[in-house]
Amino acid sequence: MSWTDKNKLKIQINYNDQVYHIDLEKGCDLSIRNDFSGNAPTFFGAEQPEAVPQHSGDFIGDLESGGSCNVPIVSCNIHCTGTHTECVSHIQDSKFKLPDKCPKGFIPAYIITVEPVAANSINDSYHCDISKSIVISKELIKSKILTSCEALIVRTLPNNQSILSRNYDDQHAPFFTNDAICYINELGIMHLLVDVPSIDKPDDGGRLGNHRLFFDYHL
């Protein structure tokens, strides 16, 4: 059900026998857009996203250069320069594509905030050496959520403007332990949204162990 209030669109949702009222104009965008000014966040040696005008004969697709319209050619590394989404085809030669799996409607989600800890201060497992790493542990997740949910959004601290342009090769990001991902699976979470470049350590020997734990659980 939807209605307008002074030309503002609002919706009413009944979920799990509870009614929620949502003002669509007060939504909060959690994504990090690709920035073509050279200040996008980067990971795993990726180059900055780039947008250059198309050239075709005497035509140039750039108004500032005298062209009749703007026609940019965009180049970016989807996985390593901004917010992106993945399905099992990221790690398997699978028939599944994102449009096949991505829900078309609203997804009920919990959002939690955690402060990653030193890996050598906990007993969680991982599939390679993480002794010098900062991680998101099972206990951090468990201390914030105990019930099943369809989607989980994990926000990490510190959280400031630097994440919009950070080079994660210079400032290593935290990632999840195997135990944390297994616990997330136990909760029945179908969609995991994070503010770090990867749920795995970037140099885990190419195993992408957490990716496999999460995606294999849902196959």
| DSSP alpha helix (H) spans, the chain | 98-101, 138-142, 178-186, 209-218
pLDDT of residue 15: 86
* pLDDT for 213 beyond 90: yes
Instruction: Indicate the residue type of 196.
Output: V
* pLDDT for 1 beyond 70: no
**Which pair of structure tokens corresponds to residue 152?**
């989980």
What CA–CA distances, in Å, run from 27 to 23, 132, 134? 7, 38, 31
3-state secondary structure 121-168: HCCCCCCCCCCCCEEECHHHHHCCCCCCCCEEEEEECCCCHHHHCCEC
Per DSSP bridges, beta strands 175-176 and 134-136 are parallel
**Contact call for residues 156 and 196 (beta carbons, < 8 A):** yes
pTM of the model: 0.90
146-172 confidence digits (pLDDT tens): 999 999 999 999 999 999 999 999 999
**Which pair of structure tokens corresponds to residue 7?**
């030309």
Tell me: cis bond preceding 158? Omega within 30 of 0 counts. Answer: yes
**Which pair of structure tokens corresponds to residue 32?**
């990090």
pLDDT of residue 10: 85
92-135 confidence digits (pLDDT tens): 888 878 888 777 788 899 999 999 999 999 999 999 999 999 99
**Which pair of structure tokens corresponds to residue 207?**
């195993």
- Average pLDDT score over residue span 18-33: 89
pLDDT of residue 175: 98
The residue whose two tokens read 């795993």 is 44
**Contact call for residues 117 and 134 (beta carbons, < 8 A):** yes
